[in-house]
Structure formats: C-alpha cells, structure tokens
Structure 1
Amino acid sequence: MKFSNRTRWLSWLPQLNPQVWILAMGRFLSDLGSGFTLFYAPIFFVNQVHLSATQVGIGLGSASISGVLGRILGGSFADSRFWGRRRTMLLSAAVSAIASLVLAVTSDFSSFTAGNLLMGLGMGLYWPATEALVADLTAPEHRQETYAIVRFADNLGLGVGIILGGILIGTTGAYRSLFVIDAISFVVFFGVIYFAISETYRPAEEIKNKKVKVKNKAFFILPISWTTALSDRRLLVFICVNIIFTTYISQLHSTLPLYLSKFVQMGNSKVGFSTTTISALFTWHMIIAIVTLIPIARFLKRFSHPQTLTVSATLWAVGFSFIWATAIVPVGQLYWTILAMGILAIATVSYTPSASALVADIAPVYLRGVYLSINSLCWAVGYAVGPPLGGWAIDRPPTIASSFWLALALSVVIVVAILQYLDRILKNIDTSK
C-alpha cells in the first residue's frame, strides 16, 4: 500500500528529462543563497550603511544597466557554437559569486553600485541560457509545466533562504554574512553545472536553410538573429506587456520592504513593521508561491498564454489595491498586508511559467537563446525602472507613497488591453496556418 501511494504521488509529477531535475536542484541551491539577501539588502543598506532610499533604488536599478549587456551577451552566447548554454551558465555563476563578495564588503554608494553592476551582469548572462536549456529539454506541450517546476525550485530556495536569513538576522544581526552565504551558493551552483549538466545546443539544419552564417569559433551569431527576432510582431507586443509585469515584480523586492518598514504602522505604535514581521510576511508570500505554483500552472494550461497572463494582471491589481488599503483603513494593517502578499504570490506564479513558455513556443529553434534573451531584457528594463521609481515614492510624503500602490493597480488596465491584442494576433496566425 505504501509503495502504491508513493507511486501515485510520483505519477502526479510531470515526466521530465533528468537534466531538468538536476538543473532545478542547482537552481534551488543558488536561490537559497539569494533568499538570504533579496529582501534584507534594501533594509541593511538604508538602516545600517546609511544610504538614502533613493541611492539604494539607484544602486539596485544599476544592476539592470549591466543586466542589459549581460542578457544580450547571454542570448548570443547561448546560440553560439563556442559558448552554448552550459559555458554561458558557468560564466554567469562565477561573475555572480564575485558580485556577492563585493556587496559583502560594501561601505559606500560607489562600492554598492559596483557590486550591483556585477550582479546584474551575472544574472543577465544566466537567464537566456538556462531558459533556453529548459526549452531544449522539453516538448512544447509540457513546456509550461516544466518552467513551473524550475520556478518551483527557485521559489523554494528563496523561501528557505528568507527563513534562514531572518533567523540569522534576528539572532546575530550579521547582515554582511548573508552576502558571503550568497557567494558560496553560486560556487555550489557552478559545481552542479560543471559536473552534471551537458550541452544541449545543437546547431540546426534550419540555420543553413535560412542562410545564417555561423563561424565554428564565433562568439556570436551574426546580428541577423536579433533583426529576425525584433521583426516578429508577436514578440514585440509581448515585450510591451512584459516590461510592465517585471516592473511590478521589482516593487515587491525593492520598494515594498521599505514601505512596510517606514509607512505601515502596527496599530497605534506609530512605528512601521519590524524586520522580523517583514521577514514573516515575505516567508508567507514565498510559501503561497511554492504551494500553488505547480497546481496553478497545471490548471491554467487549458488557457492560451495571453489569457493566463490576463488572470495574473488582474491579481496584481487586487494585491496592489490591498497594499494601498493599509494606508487608508485605520485598523487591521497587518491582515490587509497578509492578504495582499498571498494574492501577489499567486499573481507572480501565474505569470512566470506562461511568459517563458510563450516566448519559447514562438521562437525558432536556432534563435531560442536570442528570443529568450529579449524576454529576459524585459526584466532588466523593469528592474531599471522599478527600484528608482519606488525609491522616489518612498522618499515622498506618506500620501504620495501610499498612492503609488493605487497607481500601480490602475495601470493593469493597460496591461489587459495589450494582452487582448496579443491574443488576437496569435489566434490569427494559428488560423492562417
């Protein structure tokens, strides 16, 4: 009976290539380290290093400047014979480990910015290669669930990291050690890739058919690959909406912790949420994301990608509205925030697998790295815009700071309109085939 129950539980999981599970485990270990720093970094650099909220926002946003370069290189490297997916991921892990060590010794704005520039470069190199590798190993009909699995590993790692980071901060107050742990996690991830992941990029015959010349030792596919991708109307429309989604996500990581610590008061205390309370709230957020990611991906698989993203956009509007409610409702701020964090978690997990699967589905095989690089560039733009914008709002009076969340909720109307247009484009193309 026990064997039967275990077999039934395992059969519920999608049947994936073993390398996907190995990659997921590596991503869990890497994000475990990132979870130590992700939500505590803004608080540490404002409260202990004594940078202003605007400086922290600019510093975090600077990662997106180098992230743009990293994503361009990452996409081109991933589609090149010399680098491929595996070598690009190894380079990313090495650069990210160095960035974490720089942040561990940061004491001023210039070193803070330098560390974030390096981290942005490392993350930029990473995303196109890893997303392309997942697509290489997965059939289209299982792609959304596969991306959900690796995102599950990401969220689980972040969740455990947040919990352990909160415990470490609560007991020792040693913020800098968090960045050292993050560096170690990247070194471990480097080892997983080096010993357990094999190269999946195979130059397709379609390259010859399209007359795209690739030198055997070239670092890049010639710029025609980018020209081809950027002439795809489906991709261009998706870029517009994806930048807005990633701006929303950046607010969770950079602006919301500061807003909760500065403006959302606990009852009549006139004091914002403590670091321990914020840690608990983000732990709750990650638990909801972890528990719901795979079931939601499986449920939403019946809908088109634009329809799934419309569901996500609606949830973002509701979640941001509840954050705004913490400023206008005189009681129950903690309960409003708990509800908002749960809804925003579901909004996130509704978005991430479908967005990656959509781009992988429309990309030609030989340009998969470039297409997914452009998808990842949306994250760079979102994180370039989001933290400085949020930091500006935090440095304003409470009325403006709270109204910022209402403005984000209202902006979802634009997102839904773009998604409806994208859905019509995709349906027209399918009909014409």
Structure 2
Amino acid sequence: MTSTPAPRVSLRQFWADLPPAGRWLLSTVAVQTLGRGLTLPFTVIYMHEVRGISLDLAGVLMAVIAVVALIVTAPGGALTDRWGARRMLLIATTSQLVGCVILAFATTPWAFALGFCFIGLNFGISWPAFNALIATIVSGEARQQYFGVNFALVNLGIGLGGVIGGVFADVDNPMSFTWIFLGDAASMLVPIGLLLGPLRHVHGRSERPSDEDAGDEPGTYAAILRQPAVLWLSALTFLAVFVGYGQMEAGFPAFARQVSEVSTSVIGFAFAVNTVVIVTLQFWVLRRISGHRRTRVLLVMLVLWSTAWLALGLTGLVPATVAATVGVLVFHSLFALGETMLQPTIPAITNDMAPDHLRGRYNAVNSGAFQAGTILAPIVAGFLLRHQLGSVFIGMLVVGCVAMVGLALALERRISPAVNGVGPAAGPPEPVGATEAAPSGQVPLA
C-alpha cells in the first residue's frame, strides 16, 4: 500500500482534540445502538420460526427497509443541506422508535411491512444526516479516525445487545421477541434526548458559498452523479453491501440456522465475537492504515471477507457439530476485521470528496447505493437458501469480493491522493461557530 508519513495519534489525544459536540455524540453511541443489537441477529428468525413466515417472504419483507430508505434518501440528503442534520435526525430516530414498537406486536406480513417502512424511513434519512453531522465536526485525518471510532462504538452497542438478545430470545416464547423489539424502541430515546438536550443548538448545516448562483448545476443530484469518481464509489458501496452487510443481516443468520444448523445462542455469540474484534482492533487498525491509500486498504479487506465466506461455507459440510460452531465464529472474526478497514475508508472518501454545502447530497448518493445493496441481498439470500443452494450462495459472495477488487482499483485512478488519504493532511477542526453565522438561538458546527 502506497503511504505517506502520518502522525499516529493516541486515542486519548483524539478524544482531547474533539469539540464538545463530537464528545457528546461518541459518548452515547454505544447506548443508542444497544437496542439495534437486541434485534439485528434475530429478525429473520423471529419472522420465520416464531411468526411462521417463509424464508423467501421474510427476505422480501426485510428488503422493504431498503426500498423505503432508497425512496427517501435523495430528499433526505437535500433537506439535510437545507434544514440541518439535527432536525432530520430527530425525524429519523422517532421513525425508528415507532417501527420497532410495531414489529414487537406484528403477527402478519402486512404488519411487518408497516414496521419496516418506519425503520426504512430512519435508515434513509439518518445516513446522510449523521455522516454530514460528523463531517462538520472534524476534518482531515481526524475525520477518518472519527468514523472508525464511531463504528467501533456502534458495534460495541450492537454486540452487547446481541448477547442480551441471544439470552432472552426463545423461539418457543414469542413474548421474548416482543420484549427485545420494545428494548430496541426504548434505545431511541437516547439520541432523541441528546438532540433535544445538549445538542439542541447544533444544526450541522453549511451555507452555500456567497459567489455561487443558487441555481448552479453542481448542486443537483444529476450533476453529482455525472462525476466518474462518484459513480465508481457508488458501485463499490453497492457491491460491498450486497456481499457484506446485507448478507450478514439476512443471509448469515439463515445460513447458520438452515445449513450450518447451529443454535440461536451461537448466532448471538457470533455477533458478540464480531463486536469484540471491532472494539479491540479498530483503533489499532486506524493507526496502521493512517497515511495509506484507502483503496488499497479495501483490497486487504476483500481478502479477509472472501476467506470469511469460504469458512462459513465449509460449515455446511459438518452441520450441527462443534466444527460448524467454530466455523461460524471464525466467519464473524474475519468479517469483523475487514469491517474495521471498510468503515473508516468509504465514508472518509465520500466526505473528503464533497463540498461542505453539498455534504448531505453526497452522503445521500452513497446511502442510496448502500440501500440498493440491502434491497437485493436478502431477496437473493432467501431464494437461494430456501432452495437449498447454499454452495451457490457462498460462491456468489466470493465472486462478488473479486469483482470489488476491480472497482477499488478503478476508483483509485479517479480520485485525488488527498481524497484517497495520502495527500497533505487538512488542518484540525475549527472551533464551533468559526466559519458560518448562526441563526438566532443556534450554534453551528464548523
């Protein structure tokens, strides 16, 4: 990996350099995502084994989240640029709360579809809004570190939630699933309280440059999508989600139950292993990849992911055995190590590429690619696994990883060294309020 000299900042120094708003966000991330961990590993199992919904229909229903998210992503990004990230995040988290309450008591496909619509609304809005909020807080190398540390804390919350969910979730006791979904809903009260309390004066919005015509074409989605670098990055994000997160949420639990034949507690523990790897290694990885080309870091990730899916595939040869259990845990260990390389890179590339006043739209484009991957992933997984095509499922994912190698190298040729993480480092984040005038009663993020 091509590199340039870069100072290795300690975690303590990173925290000390953050503005107060950044510290508030990071200090509550794990609590916010605890509820997500309660339900993430068990949603497909809940629909299929508790409510009697077939695997392929469950896959289609899971895709509703991404369909709705894809529909609202573009307007969500534009409104983030116009209204500010804080207002949009309040709408998003409230929608997530409502959706989880509906799922807690859902017994029919239509009820699940309604709940997933609200959750999709959250996903579609929160991605561009939250990433834009982070990008206005920090800049330069600190931005990549922030995305990585935030991701580690997200996984800490999800992992702890997965362990708790694995203890309480019981397919013979439907009420146990009702309680974990209500727990997911309750966790949304944390970000809502944060946005209405300590961060109530933060809007996370940048004004358009004074010399830019309000009707200038570069501010439109069409103009953004005409940039080759944006198209290659979007394709890379789509495929990363299809072979990665989309399958981890839907394909992995189904494969582990139907092909590997491991218990729900093993699946919950596998997500916990995922968390331990990310939480313990994320900052170490951040220090090692600092100054290296982000596209080359992605190549290392793809080697890890390919190996992980092959390890999971081998468990199908020894179902319901200790070896299958070990294989499932090895899968999540390798997959998690790859995640520590993915999460700091693609968001950093996106936000280093984006002008400040269009950050919401650029993140929305990347979010749209993400949602498209999550639409297709559960549908394909449900179809293949319902028809006992586990080997085809694994082979497809490995081929997808190989295809991503070509996409990463193509993207590398179309972005500047600075966007790829090897250019001159940007300066430290400016103090809050340094670059834009605040509306009455509001303190902006610089």
TM-score by length of 2: 0.86
Partner of 1:383 in structure 2? 374
Indicate if the aligned counterparts of 1:26 and 1:193 stay in contact, CA closer than 8 A: no
- 1:326-347 alpha-carbon deviations (Å, 9 max, x no partner): 1246872222222221000111
Matches within 5 A, 1:116-127: 116-127=116-127
Letter in 1 for 2:214: V
Partner of 1:245 in structure 2? 240
Q: CA deviation at 1:422?
A: 1.1
Distance 1:205 1:411 in 2: 39
Unaligned stretches of 5+ residues in structure 1 = 1-7, 215-221, 265-271
Matches within 5 A, 1:213-228: 213=215, 224-228=219-223
Distance 1:17 1:172 in 2: 46
Distance 2:318 2:159 in 1: 29
Matches within 5 A, 1:203-352: 203-206=206-209, 208-213=210-215, 224-247=219-242, 248-264=244-260, 272-328=261-317, 332-352=323-343
Q: CA deviation at 1:167?
A: 2.0
Letter in 2 for 1:411: G
- 1:200-222 alpha-carbon deviations (Å, 9 max, x no partner): 4344352x3221259xxxxxxx9
Partner of 1:356 in structure 2? 347
Distance 1:14 1:47 in 2: 48
Identity of aligned residues (%): 22
Distance 2:237 2:276 in 1: 24
The counterpart of 1:68, out of the listed 67, 70, 76, is 70
Identify which range, 223-232 or 289-298, moves more after superposition: 223-232
Distance 1:31 1:403 in 2: 33
Moved over 6 A (4+): 428-433
- In structure 2, relative to structure 1, the CA distance for the partners of 1:107 and 1:322 (3 Å cut) is same
The CA RMSD over aligned residues, in Å, is 2.4
Partner of 1:130 in structure 2? 130
Higher helix fraction (1 or 2): 1
- 1:46-71 alpha-carbon deviations (Å, 9 max, x no partner): 00100000111001101111101232
Partner of 1:366 in structure 2? 357
Indicate if the aligned counterparts of 1:124 and 1:376 stay in contact, CA closer than 8 A: yes
Q: CA deviation at 1:393?
A: 1.2
Letter in 2 for 1:115: G
Q: CA deviation at 1:403?
A: 2.8
- 1:273-299 alpha-carbon deviations (Å, 9 max, x no partner): 111121112211221122112211221
Letter in 1 for 2:402: V
Indicate if the aligned counterparts of 1:324 and 1:403 stay in contact, CA closer than 8 A: no
Q: CA deviation at 1:13?
A: 5.0
Partner of 1:417 in structure 2? 406
Partner of 1:4 in structure 2? none
Q: CA deviation at 1:85?
A: 0.8
Identify which range, 114-123 or 285-294, moves more after superposition: 285-294
Letter in 2 for 1:90: L
Distance 2:207 2:266 in 1: 52
Indicate if the aligned counterparts of 2:262 and 2:324 stay in contact, CA closer than 8 A: no
Letter in 2 for 1:251: Q
Letter in 2 for 1:179: F
Partner of 2:437 in structure 1? none
Unaligned stretches of 5+ residues in structure 2 = 1-9, 425-446
